Structures are given as C-alpha cells and as structure tokens.
C-alpha cells in the first residue's frame, strides 16, 4: 500500500472541472513571470527556462491541468526538494515525492478528470491528516 503527504499551494479552489491535459516525463520548466519576480528579491534569480532533469523543480513527472481546453498553469508534479513536502510553499501546484508522482503518472492518462480535496480554508495551519491523506490512501491503496 502507498500513502504519503503532498504539498499544495494557495489555488486549490480554482481546480474545479480540471482535467489532465498533457503529461511529461522529466518535464522542462518555464516558470510564470510572477514566480520569477517573487523569487528574485529573496535570493538567486530563477531562469526563464529549465530543462528537465535532476535539478528541475518539477521533479520526475508532471501532469498539466487543463480547464475548458486551456492550460491552467497548475500541475501535479514531483520535486527536486523533497524536504518541502508537507509545507504550503507552492504557487498553486500540487507537489509530490518523485516515487509517488511516478506511480500516479502511470495511472492517470490524459483526459482524466482531476478532483482535489483538501483542508479548505484551513490550508497552511493543518496538515493533510484531516482529509487529504484519505484521498491519497484511496489513490495509492492502504488503510
């Protein structure tokens, strides 16, 4: 059985009706301008484009979420910073441990409806222990 904790960002409410629009192994990353500008004052600048691989923030796999046939810019993806899993540090994506996102990726074909269930307005103050962990147990098996 598989279970785990994911890290989700602030935009969970905007995912209603989303579908997996495309998928990628070792995805490249083109961060939105707002992410790049927000990161610059805090430390090293973020490149406008980064090839897929070990140092890429999207990790081993990515599922690109679409709504109404258009890219939402939100993703379900792995991470190159596994220590951040469980922390509310995202700009709206759901980050997973690479081994978990690889497992999920193999089970989610393009066109799959995505339903995100989380702690609602308690984000950041409560871990996914209350509801989200149950969703992961449903996806990955276990009790």
Residues annotated as part of the active site: 77, 93
Q: In angstroms, rounded to a whole number, what is the distance separating the alpha carbons of residues 118 and 133?
A: 9
Rounded average pLDDT over 74-83: 91
The domains located in the chain, with CATH, are 7-140 (2.40.440)
Q: In angstroms, rounded to a whole number, what is the distance separating the alpha carbons of residues 48 and 62?
A: 18
Rounded average pLDDT over 90-95: 80
Rounded average pLDDT over 56-75: 92
- What pTM was estimated for this model as a whole? 0.72
Q: In angstroms, rounded to a whole number, what is the distance separating the alpha carbons of residues 119 and 30?
A: 29
36-50 pLDDT, tens digit per residue, is 777 766 666 788 899
């Amino acid at each position: 059985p598989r279970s785990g904790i994911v890290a989700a960002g602030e935009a969970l409410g905007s995912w209603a009706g989303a579908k997996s629009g495309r998928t990628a192994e070792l995805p490249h990353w083109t961060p939105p301008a707002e992410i790049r500008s927000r990161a610059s004052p805090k430390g090293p600048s973020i490149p406008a484009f980064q090839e897929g691989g070990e140092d890429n923030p999207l990790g081993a796999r990515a599922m690109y979420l679409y709504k109404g046939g258009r890219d939402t810019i939100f993703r379900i993806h792995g991470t190159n910073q596994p220590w951040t899993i469980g922390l509310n540090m995202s700009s709206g994506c759901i980050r997973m441990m690479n081994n978990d996102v690889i497992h999920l990726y193999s089970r989610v074909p393009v066109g799959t409806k995505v339903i995100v269930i989380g702690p609602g307005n308690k984000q950041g103050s409560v871990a996914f222990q209350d509801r989200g962990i149950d969703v992961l147990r449903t996806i990955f098996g276990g009790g």
